[in-house]
Structure 1
């Protein structure tokens, strides 16, 4: 791409950065991001000085509060409330989302990761659907009736009432969130800055309208969601300190870059919003905005009506760039009675049910027109001196960069290389295509012979939900365990070998759910079950409860000290056999596509969480105890995966919720996909099943 390549609008960048499976964007914008981060330093922005950010924010909140007080006296505070809430929406609706990919299967044992994930978990309201900080902001938007484009957050880009400057910071922060390998320190720095700032300054004016308007604690990213916990800003400082301690001077510099950029961007944006709100106190400002936005379509229908000797169509055409002359002519026309909107044809006869402009203007637009008419002076001379405020928001765009990412189309050479690559969030497009094809082949194999499968979900979804079936399966596991209680235990060597062969799988516990750390999914009706499960697998931020770490302790008891999971040395460990990477690569691959394979992930999750409860975990416990090894790993799983209130129950509820939201005609297909996902934990391995996988590979290649 060269200089003649079209710019990406800031709205486009924001919308694409909200999409969990659209990963090329950070590489496309790497030059723009580097320039943004460097410019903060070149412009002399304050470095990582939390006290300065907090002091600035408090002074800025005082400034906005005073502006709203003035508007209250002038009778236009409602206008400022509406515009302030819209201006803050692109940032506040995704509050904390820049942390969404800080955890990845390859760093699940890292203290920085666990601290960052704990902070993010609080932001999304872990365990409760619709309880993220963004959801709290959505409630505020609904309260002031501006939420028409608010869900999902990507749709905010469609709302032309929000000016470009309000998308700038969130668009780049979300884009950086998709490349934690490149911007880990910068993300920690910008998060720290936003939490030091706390409640966005324009919202201080909104808060003066009443303490019950919103959940203000949720809208302040520096405060705790739970009053029993420490403030979120304390956790953010701890994340920064931990990262600095491990990454050294380079880590400190990265944090400072992110903090400085965020602080500079916030100050520029806050000034823009203040200017906009100040201008909006003038009724003619919003009227000019309205005319500018509607002039293009309106000009097609008004070639006969004449004002001041010129067709209205001509006036409207010119109003697309400068509406002031048109507004002056309209104010003097027979359509308007200055100071009396109730008696004006424009807001009465013409827009009535029998009028020629019925439903042309929605209620919000009519409010703008009425306000403008009521503010017009009766004296024509005074009206002639009026001109709308000159404020015009800046437009933003980013120039895409040439593709120099090294994606030469070379896919992983084998399972071990694929394992190492897929442990990271950021992969080349060749690796992404490999992952997609791997999943498609695995699922094709899982579908083979589904009707004859002995261990599968029912052919039809139970009318009363999966909970009764779940209890039946638990009873079956218990019976099988008791029936096999006299079976000989594996030898010590066999137990150690099987534990080692499971290491590539167990050390990425929850990897099939990694995509559900995406902000919009983690607090969704179904997704919150999956994120909460993922959060549990990693110990809820407590390293002593982290499942991969617990498993490493067990391996060390057995005399096995493996390299770090994300290192090439781990995948190359000679004692781990090739087939031990097959299922882990499937987990890592499908976890990258939380939307594309949602029903399959739901089924896989149910199978995984139910697989050992009541049966194999108990048998494994006996074997471990027999040879003097810790049973903590299986004990933890047998309790948290329980079928009453644990992961198995959550998994069943997530499937039931998914099916309930499907149209009746689509439910059978959706259920088949869930069943396929369930079977994919242990797919058939015979000739015909493998042949089905090969056919899927050929079909997939034909569509690339």
Structure 2
């Protein structure tokens, strides 16, 4: 590899190596072996119904239903069918994409690099050929890639999670995700820049979370299925980490979307290769190295095959862009916009039916619609040489801005031809040359029963088993309903604090009417009166054993630090004003991709200094660990549960986040640092939080500001009453954190804790 690294400028040593970090034990995570996946029996018919839809709707469901057990089962079927492409695609994989060499059970990196270079150059030549054809061809190519381009690196959505942190490869990938998302500035993200490139070319698409996005953005079934596959991978990043690492490297090696958009890549192919190189280093001495290597290479072959096939289809279509009949070009325009024809068009009738009732899902439907549209009064020429339809799409017309400049030009040319073709039958070509392959792919997804699945309800789980399942939620989707019930129970009980006679010792969850100033005043009051002013150095330090026990008390909550927010930065979760700020806090907690600064690394450092040796929380052996007592599981279970529902419990997560970040300040933290230093233990975890959670400009201030921004956006989009309802939910999230801090548990009856009876030590929580 020396020659390869010198020739490409790649060094596998520029990041902390898997075995180089000496300050804390490194938990090597190279991906789960495919084990059993547990679903409830009710999920099966729901998943079948989801997959019975057409490809654009399947992709939309996998994107938007991220909290659905049925979606996770459908995603598993999509992954199984796609990654086993060679079993059903009649040898095309072997014919088009020869396998990179596995030598001695490990990847031949030089052969793999040459293989990727070969396909990168072929893709670049194809794209340059389209550019030479002119603006219309380039426009078609941009539109054809839009659905995939605007997904960005969706497979990295939850690569950082309780089951995978801290790990070297996970932190490298997460650091690249941080860059791709604009380092906390959404307008600098790769997806935002690609969308601007599309709009500069006159291609305007709905938000990616819109149910009709894939109908509008994907011109063919193959593209929608490819999007569904990549989104499905994003639902199982821990289980399919080898596949994810390979696909990430292959995607950036090909570099199709940035090249099409004319952008400089945020993550270069060399940087993506570095992540791959580091991963392959770790496989060298791993007992499962050969199996994981083969999975990685097989996934790369499938992905590159998909990309080359989709690109070939788009290049062929772009080459025909100026030669296609006008009826065909107009049909494609209508197909893109038809999903958005709603009740506002109820007065528009074509062929005797309201426009909103004219389905154009098949070529036959579309041909019939075009025939009726040609004969309608909307295309009758007037004295000015125009018509009602063209007038409607001009400036000041009711449809102005719906069609791009290029689309409007096609529609005008079509109108000018209508007088001669009004009575001729409309004959449309099939949507794409790969439609038969898409149907074969879809049939295999629908018919293939997912491997290694168990259908059973999640009942009778003790706290240790539930904790293990929530950490490994990819394998235990049937536990989602248990998690939601637990989160809702915690929120319901916490409302008891809304009407408390007095504040707690460290919190004040009493309800108040919202205004930005009122929230600011409450938070400053908590900061000074509850966290800072009460502080005085301890006059007497507890015994060594008491200090160790106290750290055990907090350890489990600290080991799932950030779990409430790790799902809040998914591909669809970048449209609300607070999304990026919440992700920025989580990214900070994970060290922005720097393993040494990762907060999970820091807590393992502390535990090591205390002489506490624990297996990783994802390991089944953790269930039987004897360092942390059963009663300390309540708080981390609540934290894991609420974090699994970033859409359903979004306002509650914002409030919960405020509680967590505020609690990192003041008296309790300073006392812990004093005790740890006295006995020679590592205080790094407490010291870091005391600094970065500051109310001046740190996480506490950011948590406060994002709530104010979210509520301002809510009132602006809806009204004051909706904002008031949203505020109550936000404060309920804060109260749910306060409830645990002040001694509440889900097992006890609701009670209100006052200043007088709140003790210094309560249930285990994140500091």
Q: Shorter-normalised TM-score: what interval? A: 0.7 to 0.9
Counterpart position of 2:481: 433
When residues 321 and 342 of structure 1 are mapped into structure 2, their CA distance, relative to the original with a 3 A threshold, is same
When residues 412 and 138 of structure 1 are mapped into structure 2, their CA distance, relative to the original with a 3 A threshold, is farther
When residues 466 and 82 of structure 1 are mapped into structure 2, their CA distance, relative to the original with a 3 A threshold, is farther
Q: CA deviation at 1:255?
A: 0.8
When residues 371 and 417 of structure 1 are mapped into structure 2, their CA distance, relative to the original with a 3 A threshold, is same
> Which among 253, 257, 269 is matched to residue 200 of structure 1?
257
Structure 2, unaligned runs of 5 or more: 1-43, 101-111, 354-359, 752-767
Q: CA deviation at 1:471?
A: 4.0
Tell me, in whole angstroms, the C-alpha distance in 2 between the residues paired with 1:318 and 1:350. Answer: 24
Counterpart position of 1:7: 52
> Which among 169, 172, 194 is matched to residue 115 of structure 1?
172
Tell me, in whole angstroms, the C-alpha distance in 2 between the residues paired with 1:687 and 1:503. Answer: 17
Counterpart position of 2:410: 368
Tell me, in whole angstroms, the C-alpha distance in 2 between the residues paired with 1:431 and 1:497. Answer: 31
**Is contact 1:291-1:320 (8 Å) kept?**
no
Q: Is structure 2 residue 68 aligned with structure 1 residue 22? A: yes
Q: Is structure 2 residue 330 aligned with structure 1 residue 287? A: yes
- SS of the aligned residue for 1:432 comes to helix
- SS of the aligned residue for 1:187 comes to helix
Q: CA deviation at 1:28?
A: 2.8
Q: CA deviation at 1:166?
A: 2.1
Q: Is structure 2 residue 159 aligned with structure 1 residue 102? A: yes
> Which among 293, 298, 305 is matched to residue 257 of structure 1?
298
Counterpart position of 2:528: 475
> Which among 111, 121, 124 is matched to residue 58 of structure 1?
121
**Is contact 1:276-1:391 (8 Å) kept?**
no
Q: Is structure 2 residue 614 aligned with structure 1 residue 562? A: yes
Counterpart position of 1:270: 311
When residues 523 and 242 of structure 1 are mapped into structure 2, their CA distance, relative to the original with a 3 A threshold, is farther
Tell me, in whole angstroms, the C-alpha distance in 2 between the residues paired with 1:119 and 1:294. Answer: 35
Tell me, in whole angstroms, the C-alpha distance in 1 between the residues paired with 2:253 and 2:361. Answer: 47
Counterpart position of 1:545: 597
**Is contact 2:508-2:738 (8 Å) kept?**
no
The count of residues paired between Structure 1 and Structure 2 equals 648
Counterpart position of 2:541: 489
**Is contact 1:409-1:429 (8 Å) kept?**
no
Cα-to-partner distance string for 1:315-347 (whole Å, 9 max, x where unaligned): x9998379599889979x99999xxx99896x4
Q: CA deviation at 1:68?
A: 3.3
Q: Is structure 2 residue 753 aligned with structure 1 residue 677? A: no
Q: CA deviation at 1:415?
A: 0.8
Q: CA deviation at 1:111?
A: 1.8
**Is contact 1:466-1:653 (8 Å) kept?**
no
Tell me, in whole angstroms, the C-alpha distance in 1 between the residues paired with 2:708 and 2:574. Answer: 17
Q: CA deviation at 1:125?
A: 2.0
TM-score relative to the length of structure 1: 0.81
Structure 1, unaligned runs of 5 or more: 208-215, 225-229, 305-315, 694-704
When residues 124 and 239 of structure 1 are mapped into structure 2, their CA distance, relative to the original with a 3 A threshold, is farther
> Which among 231, 234, 239 is matched to residue 274 of structure 2?
234
Counterpart position of 2:13: none
**Is contact 2:329-2:410 (8 Å) kept?**
yes
**Is contact 1:603-1:677 (8 Å) kept?**
yes
Q: CA deviation at 1:257?
A: 1.3
Q: CA deviation at 1:604?
A: 1.1
Counterpart position of 1:579: 631
Counterpart position of 1:87: 144
Tell me, in whole angstroms, the C-alpha distance in 1 between the residues paired with 2:547 and 2:361. Answer: 80
Tell me, in whole angstroms, the C-alpha distance in 1 between the residues paired with 2:581 and 2:460. Answer: 32
Q: CA deviation at 1:534?
A: 1.7
**Is contact 1:104-1:424 (8 Å) kept?**
no
**Is contact 2:147-2:218 (8 Å) kept?**
no
Tell me, in whole angstroms, the C-alpha distance in 2 between the residues paired with 1:118 and 1:619. Answer: 33
Counterpart position of 2:364: 320
Tell me, in whole angstroms, the C-alpha distance in 2 between the residues paired with 1:302 and 1:678. Answer: 57
Q: Is structure 2 residue 723 aligned with structure 1 residue 667? A: yes
Q: CA deviation at 1:236?
A: 4.7
Report matched runs for 1:377-526 at 5 Å: 392=432, 394=435, 396=439, 397=442, 398-399=445-446, 401-402=448-449, 405-411=453-459, 413-452=461-500, 453-454=502-503, 455-457=507-509, 459-464=512-517, 466-467=519-520, 469-477=522-530, 479-482=532-535, 484-521=536-573, 524-526=576-578
Q: CA deviation at 1:596?
A: 1.0
Tell me, in whole angstroms, the C-alpha distance in 1 between the residues paired with 2:644 and 2:392. Answer: 52
Q: CA deviation at 1:271?
A: 1.1
> Which among 40, 65, 84 is matched to residue 38 of structure 1?
84
> Which among 610, 635, 643 is matched to residue 662 of structure 2?
610
Q: CA deviation at 1:437?
A: 0.7
Q: CA deviation at 1:411?
A: 2.8
Q: Is structure 2 residue 415 aligned with structure 1 residue 348? A: no
When residues 281 and 545 of structure 1 are mapped into structure 2, their CA distance, relative to the original with a 3 A threshold, is same
When residues 377 and 537 of structure 1 are mapped into structure 2, their CA distance, relative to the original with a 3 A threshold, is same
Q: CA deviation at 1:85?
A: 2.2
When residues 540 and 363 of structure 1 are mapped into structure 2, their CA distance, relative to the original with a 3 A threshold, is closer
TM-score relative to the length of structure 2: 0.75
When residues 474 and 272 of structure 1 are mapped into structure 2, their CA distance, relative to the original with a 3 A threshold, is same
When residues 518 and 287 of structure 1 are mapped into structure 2, their CA distance, relative to the original with a 3 A threshold, is closer
Tell me, in whole angstroms, the C-alpha distance in 2 between the residues paired with 1:488 and 1:114. Answer: 40
**Is contact 1:68-1:80 (8 Å) kept?**
yes
Cα-to-partner distance string for 1:520-561 (whole Å, 9 max, x where unaligned): 336752122222222222222222222222222222222221
> Which among 624, 638, 656 is matched to residue 676 of structure 2?
624
Q: CA deviation at 1:607?
A: 0.9
**Is contact 2:48-2:446 (8 Å) kept?**
no
Task: State which drifts further: 484-493 or 188-197.
Answer: 484-493
Counterpart position of 2:130: 67
- SS of the aligned residue for 2:186 comes to coil
When residues 418 and 412 of structure 1 are mapped into structure 2, their CA distance, relative to the original with a 3 A threshold, is farther
When residues 327 and 64 of structure 1 are mapped into structure 2, their CA distance, relative to the original with a 3 A threshold, is farther
Counterpart position of 1:311: none
Tell me, in whole angstroms, the C-alpha distance in 1 between the residues paired with 2:525 and 2:662. Answer: 11
Tell me, in whole angstroms, the C-alpha distance in 1 between the residues paired with 2:388 and 2:570. Answer: 51
Tell me, in whole angstroms, the C-alpha distance in 2 between the residues paired with 1:624 and 1:636. Answer: 14
**Is contact 1:192-1:237 (8 Å) kept?**
no
**Is contact 1:141-1:147 (8 Å) kept?**
yes
**Is contact 2:158-2:570 (8 Å) kept?**
yes
Tell me, in whole angstroms, the C-alpha distance in 2 between the residues paired with 1:254 and 1:149. Answer: 36
Q: CA deviation at 1:685?
A: 5.3
**Is contact 1:47-1:260 (8 Å) kept?**
yes
**Is contact 2:123-2:256 (8 Å) kept?**
no
Q: CA deviation at 1:600?
A: 1.3
When residues 400 and 17 of structure 1 are mapped into structure 2, their CA distance, relative to the original with a 3 A threshold, is farther
**Is contact 1:173-1:187 (8 Å) kept?**
no
**Is contact 2:367-2:427 (8 Å) kept?**
no
**Is contact 2:82-2:229 (8 Å) kept?**
no
